[in-house]
Structure 1
Amino acid sequence: MAARLTPAAQPLVYPGLAPVHTAVSADGDVLDVGRTFLSVLNGGSGAITVTVQTPETVDGDLAIAERVVTVPVGTAPKLIPLNSPHYRQTTASAVLPADVGKAYVDYSATASVTRAVVMFA
C-alpha cells in the first residue's frame, strides 16, 4: 500500500478563495484537524462516499462511528468540516508517528474526484 497523501491546506483569506482542487489518492489522505475543512468535487459517473475515520472508543469498548459523507456527481463542492477532536489519530491507531493528531480520510472512488483542503487563517 502506498502512503496516504497530505495535500497542502489553502488559507481562506478575506478577499475570498477559489480553492485549487487536486486528484485524490486511492490510499486516502492525512489531514490536519481544527480550523480546516475538505472540499470534494465529484465529476465521476455516480455518487461516492468520503469517510473520515474516528479511532476513538467510549467507555473502553464502544466504537465511535466513522463520519461517512455522500458526494453526488456535480460541479458544486461538498464541504466537510474537519473540526472534531474524534477524528484525531492516536498513538495506537496511527500508521506513522507523524500521523498522530491528524485525520485519516478515505474515498470510495478516485476517478474524476478532486479535493482541496482549506483552513481558516
Structure 2
Amino acid sequence: MARASVTTQQVTRTGLNPTLTAAAADGDIVDAGAVALWVDNAAGSPITVTVEATAAQDGLAVGDLSVTVPAGAQRLIGPLPARTFAQPSGEVGAGRVLVNYSAVTSVTRAVIKL
C-alpha cells in the first residue's frame, strides 16, 4: 500500500461539518500551511500521530511533531507550516506533509483549512 493523499476541507462562514475518513496504515500526505489535522481515536488504546519535520535550524534537524491521542478522544493538530514540515522537491509528497499513525484501527481523520 501507499500513503493516502487527504483532501483538505475548507472552513466557511456558514460552517463546516467535516467528513472524517479512515487513517491510512501507511500514513497520509496532507497539505502544508494554515491547516489542522483532526484525529478521532475511537479505539480502546491511545495512539501517536507523528508529523514528519523536514526543517533544520543552525544545521540541526527540527524534531518531528508527535501528539498522543487518548483512547476515545479527539485532537486537532496544527498548523503545519511548509517551512517546517513540507517535503522537499523530488521526494514523495513534495511540497506537502507526511503524517504517520502508530495504529489506525478505529482512527479517522480530516484536514481542515481556515
Gaps of 5+ in 1: none
2:94 paired residue number: 100
Q: Distance in 2 between matches of 1:27 and 1:48?
A: 15
**What is the Cα deviation at residue 72 of structure 1?**
1.0
Residue 68 (structure 2) pairs with residue 78 (structure 1): no
| Identity across matched positions, percent | 41
2:48 paired residue number: 49
**What is the Cα deviation at residue 36 of structure 1?**
1.1
SS where residue 84 of structure 2 aligns?
helix
SS where residue 40 of structure 1 aligns?
strand
Q: Distance in 2 between matches of 1:119 and 1:49?
A: 22
Q: Distance in 1 between matches of 2:24 and 2:100?
A: 9
Gaps of 5+ in 2: none
SS where residue 77 of structure 1 aligns?
strand
The count of aligned residue pairs is: 113
Q: Distance in 1 between matches of 2:3 and 2:79?
A: 17
> Which residue of 78, 88, 91 corresponds with 2:89?
91
**What is the Cα deviation at residue 3 of structure 1?**
1.6
Give CA-to-partner distance per residue, 1:59-116, whole Å, 9 cap, x none: 33x2111000111122x53101133220111136x2x3xx221110000000000001
Q: Distance in 2 between matches of 1:25 and 1:71?
A: 16
Give CA-to-partner distance per residue, 1:3-58, whole Å, 9 cap, x none: 21112111111121121110011110111111211100001111101000002222
Q: Distance in 1 between matches of 2:36 and 2:57?
A: 25
> Which residue of 61, 64, 77 corresponds with 1:63?
61
* TM-score (norm. length: structure 1): 0.85
1:22 paired residue number: 21
**What is the Cα deviation at residue 119 of structure 1?**
1.2
SS where residue 5 of structure 2 aligns?
coil
